[in-house]
Structure 1
Amino acid sequence: MSEQLKFIVEQLNREPLKKNFNLITFDSLEPMQLLQILNDVLAEVDPKQSIDIREEMSEQTAKRMFALLGMLKYKPPGSQTDASTFRQGLVIGNKPVIHPILHWLLQRLPELKKRAYLARFLVKLEVPAEFLQDDIVSDTSRQYEELVETFKSHHKECEQLRTSGFSIVEIRRDISAMEEEKDQLIKRVERLKKRVESVPTHLRMLELARQLRVEKEREESLSQQKQEQKNQLFQAEQRLQRSQQQLKDLRQAAANADPESLMKRLEEEIKINTYIVTEKLPKEMGSKRRMVQYLQKVALEPAMGHGELQELEDKIKEVNTQVNQLIEKRMMRNDPMDDKLTLFRQQASIIIRKKEAKAEELQQAREELSAVEKELSQRSSQARGLDGGEVVRGDELKRLVVKLRSKGTVHKKKRQELAELKAEYGVLQRTEEILRQRHEDIQQQLQSIEAQKGISGYSYTQEELEKVSATKSELDDVKGRTLDDMSEMVKKLNSMIAEKKSALAPIIKELRSLRQECQELTQEYDEKKSQYDSCAAGLESNRSKLEQDVKTLREESAQEENRYHYLNCMKQITEMQMQRAAQETKAYVSSDPQQRKKAIREVYMKSIAEQESLGKKLREKQKAVRESHGANMKQMKMWRDLEQLMECKKQCFIRAQSQASIGQVIQEGGEDRLVL
């Protein structure tokens, strides 16, 4: 849920919404504000939804949003499958209902914009069957469906053109540049032909130039084949070197390896793995679980305000100060035994940290090794795909060479045919230009002849008249057809109007009587409503006055009751104080020593004297301890040295006994040999 809220807040703060929220402000929004934000997001999807929900009834808002979400094909989560509960949650602005909708909308905003735009034109209107029996309505419906289909096709073409990556302006520019280059090449070819035609052996020279071009192309193809074969040979040599190096490494590892080294290596790996499994991983899992529990606890708590955050910061500061004070007190004690323990603890913590660091380095090295192995396998698979598998053998290489030669000959034939077709295309273009030029010359001659005869523009006018007469005949036919259609349509409309009038006549009569009744009832309703409003206004004013009086009286009663309780408590406190003062004076004045001892003054004086005597004894004891501290420490050191000396003697005695027993065994074995 927290990830969902973060995503919603980030998307709302971006373009085009720019809401400037954070998690706390967004979570503390009122239901109406949350509904307005949902409406703003829906307005980004469909601009028709951009309205203020305060100016609209809640039922209408829910109905409008429900319809748009249904059109966008939104499916509620598993816990909101019931339509009535989902609609009710949408009406009241429930967070568990609106947050998933916002998350779903903001995830796919461009896609939903496109869907809403298409829905305006592609959602078909459902026309009842009885209305489709009318010819006009059915024709209109059919035209509507045809327009929807044409819109679909045009939209698909538009999307294809947008995604194709081509620009119309660039294509036109390229076409114009290519046409200019083509014209320049044609002109250059014409100039070269005119130059060459004067040479007597130009045909032989052209044939030799063609053969030279063919040989050069063949030379280029052969050089490419040679380069490809060199690359394949180089790759095969590299694979061979890698395989030889791997074989060498494996042989060295097998030669230097003995059972003891292998066992040691395995024991080290087992120790490392057991440390990782038993100590490192449980610690990490425990820390992760604690972090998850803490985050879940934070997520379940309600949103905090600025004052609550300030209180928490003050508590943290107080706890930090207390911790610092405790550390200072501990440092002021300066107990030597504690100091030694702290040293050992520090050494133990350093060793633990080193172990953890080495374990992390080992884990990182293993991850890097697995990544490198994976990359090596990918590179080897890519190299295999590029090389085409294994190294090509001799027979396969011969077959490939034969195939390439056959393909090269086919390629040369095709190139020759393409060159011939290009030459023929140039000839045909030139023929077209010559014919167009001749046509223009003939037209100019015809115009000059018409000018000489005094009938300039005759041919042009005749052509225009023929075109106009043809179009006029077509228009006359169309007009005749449209007039017939219009007359038939008018007849149909008149008959339909007459039928509708005859069907509506009795309904109109009933409507007149009902209108009169409605007017009478509205007058009576207005009178009753004015009486009700006046009576309600009077009762409302009286009720407000009574409520104000009751409120003031209740406040006075509560104040007096608080004052009574306060005075009663103060009275009891003073009585108790006076009673204790009387008992104290009675005990202090009485002649009985037992009663005097019970007085508070005597008790305090006695406790002060006891504490002073105790402090005196402790100071004397401290002085004695300080004086004997050095001697006691020397004596303790001497006892430790004596203990070590005794331990060494014990070890030497045990060792001497073991050596004596071994020598005796050896001597007995020698005697046995002598006897034998």
Structure 2
Amino acid sequence: CTLRSCYLRQEWRKGIVEGEKVAIYPILEWIFNNCEKLKERAYLAKYLVKTDIPGEFQDVETAELTNQINALMEDFKATLYSTISGETNQNFISENLQNGTSNGDFNNNINIHSRAAETRKDTMLVDDIRTDLKTMEQEKEYLLKKVEKAEEKLRNVPNLQKILDLATSIRLENRRRDILTLQIQEQTNVTNHCTMKLQRLHTVLDELKGAGAENADPNVVLKQLEEELQTSRYIIEEKLPKEIEAKRAIVIELSKIADIPALSENDIANIQRKIQAVNEEMLTLMNEKDAEDKNTNELSVYRHQEIAIKRKKAGLVEKLQKNR
């Protein structure tokens, strides 16, 4: 324990020894709040708390006595449970409370307390039901007397049956009125919803008119929608997959570059010189080939443009890598 907790414990023990109110009153309050439970615990502790015997004192006779005590405890629990099931449970415990002593903690493995509590709860529930039934009977008698008085008052009323029929009709009409009121409210809600939907549609129509679509040919609009659909399908099915694959290839190449060990400035300079030499050699070969095929191949111009574009692309990639 910490220093503070040890100090507080010592102060509490000192207060109990000296009889200080700060230490004694909380204990008394707890005892008074749990008086019934403590009485029952004190009574049961005498018969159900096992005595721990040190090992050095154990022998054959002591073991036999311990077994006998355990058997008697089991008999006592069985007798107590059968007593709790009857109506004399509280009297049985109260008569024997004077012999009980709180000489130890109650055995946690014994479930007799929970059973007793459940039995008491069931008894209280039955008493509550009986009380409710008695109250309902009294209310029933009161209502019957009231009905009898009302019948006596109405016996001499002329056209009683006609008045009763009219009252029944009024009650039915009131019920029908309530049903119709609910239906009217539901229809009003539906009408409001349709009105809001119609307003939204008018707004969309006004936007279409403002865009000049009032006199548009439906076939033209349909064709435009088909073209937009084809464009979207091309973007989704062809363009985007190619771009994704290209990006993945770039990521793979960049990953390989990232995995390469760090190069010194001399290594970078040598690589750049080699790249420049290869590019110059490729450019020379391409120019020679273009010169040879200029008179015979009409596609040389396009090839030259493609090569120039690739060369510019390679240069841009190289600049990008340098900037990174």
Higher fraction of helix = 1
TM-score by length of 2: 0.33
Q: Which has the larger Rg?
A: 1
Q: TM-score, normalised by structure 1?
A: 0.18
